[in-house]
Amino acid sequence: MNSDAATAAPVFSWPVRIYWEDTDAGGVVYYANYLRFLERARTEWLRSLGIDQSQVRDVHGVVFVVREVAIEYSAPAKLDDELESRIDAVERRSASMTFAQRILRRSDGAVLVTARVRVACVAADGFKPQRIPESLFSR
């Protein structure tokens, strides 16, 4: 991944609306919920590529699991905020992918969260590392 990811157009973007269930008693998004918003963007990115994760499990016998997360919280999101969960860059290796991701507030473009997430491809039945099936990304 390169350092130009912050200024380049995102690889993928997914909208997020903040509901009561996402917030704490003060109406601020609970910090762990940002992980869900990042996950949704990665899942929807795969879906946009025509990759159904249930089918990947059934046909190829593999699943993707989060291996490592580095996250920085810069500003809070609040009830009713409209956010954008972005994938800014993707690095694919033989058995893992690393994503540079951000969550922005749509109203002012403020970056609320930046994250680096590494997912591993593992066997669905024993969770041992596996190569990512080449056919998944050959389109």
- Please return the burial class of 119, using the count of CB atoms within 10 Å of its CB with bins 0-12, 13-18 and 19+: buried
21 and 33 in contact (C-beta within 8 Å)? Answer: no
101 and 88 in contact (C-beta within 8 Å)? Answer: yes
Tokens of 83: 């956010």
Active site residue 24: yes
Q: Residue 18's closest CA among 87, 101, 83, 84? A: 83
Catalytic residue of the set 4, 22, 24, 52: 24
- Paired sense of beta strands 96-105 and 111-123, if any: antiparallel
Active site residues: 24
